[in-house]
Every structure is written in structure tokens, then in C-alpha cells.
Amino acid sequence: MTAKPPAKPPAASTAITRRTLLAGGAALAVPLAFPHPAIAEGAKIRYTLSWLPTGQYAYVYMARQLGYWKKRGIEVDIVSGRGSLGAIQGIASGQFELGGAATGANLLSITKGVDLRILGTQGYDASLGVLVPAKGPIKKPKDIEGRKIGVTAAGGDTPFLPAYYKLAGVDANKVTTVALDSKIIEESVMSGQVDCMVAFGMSSIPNFVSADFPVRFLPFADVGIQFYWVNTLARSEYLETNKQLIADFQDGLFEGMKFALLNPEETVERHLKEHEEIAISKNGKLFTELGVGMVSACMNAPESREHGLGYTDLDKLAAQAKLARDYTGAATDPQPPPVASYASNDLIGKVTLTAAEWDVVHTKTKKYAELLGRA
């Protein structure tokens, strides 16, 4: 699948990159417009994203901006992340009460004994894959042999690369792996330092499209490796003593999601107002639009349409846990625990869309689904 921009963006020199976002880190904590209303006295939650505050996480900020948590007496501190494994560590250690991280990484961690509980699902296709320059020599997985691939050590995508090689018939011994900082990995592909990179398509495709750098996406799903995107996570001790609070948090979170699904244009504008480090780039609007649109596309799934936003199909999750263990674990690793021991739908289900509203979402997200190979 070759990713091309919906409309021609500005030149690459104005691209929103991970370096740009990180350089603007000081601005992340201070909304520049659409300020939050004063928070009533109540609970405070530290919530970690698994990545930077790109458009794909705009729905989280909508929940705060629009007062969906405030009306439930909750003040939420949203902290940007640097990868799913780091977010998982922060949640399991108690640094954060709640957070979101990639499903594949969550399941690997749970199988290895990390104390995590999956309480909701924020997207139904992780869009794992390999991104390659559209004009380059890599047309199919086998072409990765003899090339350099960029990876990030803490990324939730990296652990599944060996499984992809195996299932796609790629000789891993013929591929040079280059560990790169998350701040420069996309730039390294654009500059030719590496020939391709492992990625979450929703995270990285917007960087390339907004830089007018066409890429081809080789989805892991083509060889049978497919996971949900992001889950709401808590450690078990916090869950046991804060069930109503977590339910209220998720209701607010998914109200923010519903707003983003039905009002993508306003969501983009609001997100840019809060994150000046994105807005100051000439192509920041396109970058944000792509993130909002791609997440909306991957929310349009039977789970959410039939059961409400946040619903997790526990049978599918159990199958994903087995897939993660079988293709990335050691032969001596234990089998995943029963899915009911670490995942539940008990604390979600109140936020829904009508069939007519889902039809609107489908129409508005078609071009983004095509970028991810979902159309």
C-alpha cells in the first residue's frame, strides 16, 4: 500500500517530526487556547500516553478540553510517552494511575508476569508493519534482505519484527538492524540512513505524508500478525480500590472519542490550539488531520459498532495473546494466563454511536483507511 497525501502538503522542510514535537516539550503541559474549566475538588489521575501528543491522541485531549472528566469530578494530568514499553513500566510501577499502550506489548508483558489489567480498547487495528520509501527498491518483504531497517528499542512494534521475518520468509541474518532514537527514526528513512523502519502505521505515516515523502506500507497483518491498537491499563491494586473512578474516567475518555469521531474538523482545530509546537509548522494541520482520521478509521469495527466504544472482544484478545507468545516468546515462556484474569468489559459500555452516526464516520474516514490498507 503506497501512502499518498489527501492533498499536496508543503515541502519536507516544514514536516512535523518527532524531533519537532520533543523540542516543544515545554509547551505540552500548558494549553494555549480552549483552556480547561476550573476543576472541581475530586480525584486526580495521572494518565500516560504511549507516545507524543500527535493527532492520533486528540480524543484524549478532547475529553479534558470539553469537560467530560470535569463533570465527573476528575482532574486528569496527561503525560506524553516515549513508547509502549515505557508506558507499561510506568503504570506497573505506580508512576501513573492509568495509561494507554499497544496491545501487543501489553499482552507480552502480561504473559511475562507484569501486573497489568486491560480495561478498555481504544482502537482495533494496531497497523503494525514496515514502512519503506515508495520510490525505493523494497516492493515486497523479501526485498528487505540486504538492507538496513530502523527500530526503536522501547517501541511496542519492535518485538514482533522477528515473527514478521519468519512468516514473510525473510532471512533475518541478511538484514542489518539499526537501533535509532524515536526522535529521529522517520528522518533517518527520509535521509537514507536506513532503507526502511518498523512502525505503527498510524504513528509514522502522518510524518511521511506531511513531509511529502511517499511511502509504501507492508502490513504485518498480511502474514497473520494483527493486534488491537491501544488499551486502557491499570495495575491490579489500583483497579481493586478505584473501580468506579476508572469507569467514570473511561466514560469521559470515550465521550472524547465520540466527539472526535463525529467532529473531526473541530477536533483538529482544538488539538492545534492546545499544542502550539504542532500548530507552528505549516503542515501541522495536515499532520494532525491524518492522526485524527486514522484513529477514527480503526475505531470503526464490529466491536465498537455492536457493543459501544471501548469494548474488547475477549476471545480475539486471547488469540492475540497466544500469537504474541508463540511468535515472540522463548520456548520456556509460560502460556498466557486466562483472558478473564487480566481483561474485562465491566468498566465500559455507556458511550455508543447510532448506526447513522457510524455511517457518517465510515464516509469521513475512507481515505484514511486506504492509507492503512484497511479499505
pTM: 0.81
Nearest to 264 by CA among 229, 235, 299: 299
pLDDT of residue 159: 84
pLDDT digits (tens, 9 = 90+) for 305-328: 999 999 999 999 999 999 988 887
Cα–Cα distance for residue pair 89/91, rounded to 1 Å:
6
Burial classification of residue 37, based on how many CB atoms lie within 10 Å of its CB (0-12 exposed, 13-18 middle, 19 or more buried): exposed
CB atoms within 10 A of CB 30: 10
pLDDT of residue 171: 98
The grid cell for 183 is: 526522535
CA diameter of the chain: 59
pLDDT digits (tens, 9 = 90+) for 39-91: 345 799 999 999 889 999 999 999 999 999 999 999 999 999 988 889 999 99
Query: Is residue 5 domain-resident?
Result: no
In terms of DSSP bridges, do strands 176-179 and 98-102 run parallel, antiparallel, or are they unpaired? unpaired
Q: Are residues 350 and 277 in the same domain?
A: yes
Cα–Cα distance for residue pair 23/151, rounded to 1 Å:
21
Q: Are residues 136 and 172 in the same domain?
A: yes
Q: Are residues 218 and 327 in the same domain?
A: no
Query: Is residue 81 domain-resident?
Result: yes
CA 216 centroid distance within chain: 19
Those residues of the chain that have pLDDT short of 70 are 1-41, 375
Helix 314-328 × helix 161-168 angle, to 10°: 80
3-state secondary structure of 20: helix
Where is the domain boundary, 223, 243, 274? Answer: 223
Burial classification of residue 7, based on how many CB atoms lie within 10 Å of its CB (0-12 exposed, 13-18 middle, 19 or more buried): exposed
Q: Are residues 78 and 112 in the same domain?
A: yes
pLDDT of residue 41: 54
Query: Is residue 8 domain-resident?
Result: no
pLDDT of residue 7: 44
Cα–Cα distance for residue pair 109/190, rounded to 1 Å:
32
- Contact 83/152 with Cβ under 8 angstroms? yes
pLDDT of residue 29: 33
Q: Are residues 359 and 290 in the same domain?
A: yes
Q: Are residues 146 and 75 in the same domain?
A: no
Query: Is residue 146 domain-resident?
Result: yes
Give the CATH number for residue 344. 3.40.190.10
Q: Which neighbouring-strand residues pair with 77?
A: 46
Query: Is residue 38 domain-resident?
Result: yes
Residue 264: what residue type?
Answer: P
Count the domains in the chain: 2
Where is the domain boundary, 206, 223, 240? Answer: 223
Where is the domain boundary, 223, 250, 284? Answer: 223
Residue 31 belongs to what domain range?
Answer: 25-125+227-367
Q: Could you give the count of Cα atoms lying within 13 Å of 132 in the half-sphere of its Cβ?
A: 22
Query: Is residue 55 domain-resident?
Result: yes
Sign of torsion over alpha carbons 302, 2, 260, 92 = positive
Residue the block writes with cell 509514522: 204
Q: Are residues 238 and 338 in the same domain?
A: yes
In terms of DSSP bridges, do strands 117-121 and 128-133 run parallel, antiparallel, or are they unpaired? unpaired
Residue 50: what residue type?
Answer: S
Query: Is residue 17 domain-resident?
Result: no
